């Protein structure tokens, strides 16, 4: 099961206790995967399409609890890509006018915002985490048919101090968040505790891996700098040798120069051990030699 599925399974375990919040959940679900039609010639109705049996059963239960009448199956289409049937459910007929009016007129109150976010995720939400060979990062999104619907969700995110953005993708409008912190806040708001624990576990593993990479990069950088310094020293001491300057150097400096020429690939610490010197002592001698080399160029 992917991470989006883990969140959905957790969200359908409970139902908001207040009627207004249940309607907010339904309204968000219809905004993302259904439609609401108010009192036209064909009558008032709302409907939704789903290929997920658990989510469909959950939303059918919400509608029956709210209005006391079950929705009916209005159609089924085979989805060849996923090998599943997409079922369309319809609520219409007697009592539909009042039900549709109540759903359509809802403006989510502060207590309903959590429920609206839950319904929107059940309808069209998805969330991915980095990990394995995937090149994706942290990404949470909700897909809407209209900019007005997307903006309404963005306003709710803003009220809850969650940071999101809107982008148009074809004929759809997508509200998305791309930071670990925003996704963690969202999961906390909708009370998806298990999914939040998964996020924290992935985040901790990723941070540990990033720390290891930083250490390796640092070590590699140090190795590169050491190799460059060793090459520069070898060039300088070859200059002394070619100019016949080595014998004229003080013995301590001559030993250091000849040691570097004999072992050009050793690190400073390794060369110091070879020569029976401390690293700081050898470093001091090599700095003196490089100064003499610079002055003689």
Predicted confidence at residue 119, as pLDDT, reads: 95
Q: Average model confidence (pLDDT) for the chain?
A: 84
Residue 259 within a domain = yes
The reply to whether 239 and 167 lie within a common domain is no
Residue carrying structure tokens 């997508």: 174
The reply to whether 98 and 223 lie within a common domain is no
Domain that includes residue 92, residue range:
3-191
pLDDT band at 190 (very low <50, low <70, confident <90, very high): very high
Q: For residue 268, what are the CA distances in angstroms to 216, 230, 251?
A: 20, 8, 19
The reply to whether 171 and 101 lie within a common domain is yes
pLDDT in tens, 218-262: 555 555 576 777 778 888 888 888 888 888 888 888 888 888 888
Residue 172: φ, ψ to 5°: -105, 160
The reply to whether 45 and 168 lie within a common domain is yes
Predicted confidence at residue 279, as pLDDT, reads: 85
Domain boundary among 176, 191, 206: 191
Predicted confidence at residue 210, as pLDDT, reads: 57
Q: How far is CA 236 from the centre of its chain?
A: 51
Residue 202 within a domain = no
The reply to whether 278 and 153 lie within a common domain is no
Residue 41 within a domain = yes
Residue 210 within a domain = no
Q: Per-residue DSSP letters for 57-108? A: HHHHHHHHHHHSS--EEEEEEEETTTTEEEEEEEEESTTHHHHHHHHHH---
Total domain count, the chain: 2
The reply to whether 127 and 35 lie within a common domain is yes
CATH number at residue 118: 3.10.28.10
Residue 168 within a domain = yes
The reply to whether 18 and 111 lie within a common domain is yes
Q: Write out the two tokens for 44.
A: 């008032």
The reply to whether 24 and 102 lie within a common domain is yes
Q: Per mean pLDDT, which range of 44-48, 215-219, 227-231, 279-283 is the poorest?
A: 215-219
Residue carrying structure tokens 């059940």: 122
The reply to whether 37 and 165 lie within a common domain is yes
Residue 180 within a domain = yes
The reply to whether 155 and 247 lie within a common domain is no
Residue 230 within a domain = yes
Best-predicted range by mean pLDDT among 104-108, 150-154, 218-222?
150-154
Residue 256 within a domain = yes
pLDDT in tens, 71-80: 888 777 766 6
pLDDT exceeds 80 at position 192: yes
The reply to whether 57 and 128 lie within a common domain is yes
**Cα–Cα distance measured from residue 149 to residue 123, given in angstroms and rounded to the nearest whole number:** 13
**Cα–Cα distance measured from residue 154 to residue 202, given in angstroms and rounded to the nearest whole number:** 26
The reply to whether 112 and 234 lie within a common domain is no
Helix (H, G, I), strand (E, B) or coil at 172: strand
Best-predicted range by mean pLDDT among 174-178, 210-214, 287-291?
174-178
């Amino acid at each position: 099961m992917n991470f989006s599925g883990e969140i959905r399974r957790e969200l359908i375990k409970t139902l908001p206790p207040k009627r207004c919040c249940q309607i907010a959940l339904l309204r968000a679900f219809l905004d993302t995967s259904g439609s609401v039609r108010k009192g036209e010639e064909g009558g008032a109705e709302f409907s939704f399409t789903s290929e997920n049996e658990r989510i469909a059963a959950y939303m059918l239960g919400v509608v029956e609890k709210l209005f006391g009448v079950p929705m009916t199956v209005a159609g089924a289409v085979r989805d060849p890509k996923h090998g599943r049937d997409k079922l369309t459910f319809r609520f219409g007929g007697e009592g539909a006018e009042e039900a549709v009016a109540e759903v359509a007129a809802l403006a989510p109150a502060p207590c309903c915002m959590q429920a609206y976010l839950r319904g929107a995720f059940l309808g069209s939400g998805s969330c991915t985490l980095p990990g394995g060979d995937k090149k994706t990062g942290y990404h949470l999104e909700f897909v809407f048919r209209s900019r007005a619907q997307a903006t309404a969700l963005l306003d709710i995110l803003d009220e809850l101090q969650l940071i999101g953005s809107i982008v148009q993708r074809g004929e759809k409008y997508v509200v998305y968040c791309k930071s670990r912190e925003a996704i963690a806040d969202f999961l906390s708001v909708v009370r998806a505790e298990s999914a939040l624990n998964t996020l924290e576990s992935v985040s901790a593993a990723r941070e540990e891996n990033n720390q290891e990479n930083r250490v390796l990069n640092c070590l590699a950088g140090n190795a590169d700098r050491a190799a460059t310094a060793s090459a520069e020293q070898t060039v300088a001491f070859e200059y002394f040798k070619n100019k016949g300057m080595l014998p004229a150097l003080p013995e301590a400096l001559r030993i250091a120069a000849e040691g570097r020429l004999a072992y050009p690939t050793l690190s400073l610490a390794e060369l110091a051990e070879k020569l029976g010197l401390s690293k700081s002592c050898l470093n001091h001698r090599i700095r003196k030699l490089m100064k003499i080399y610079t002055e003689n160029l």
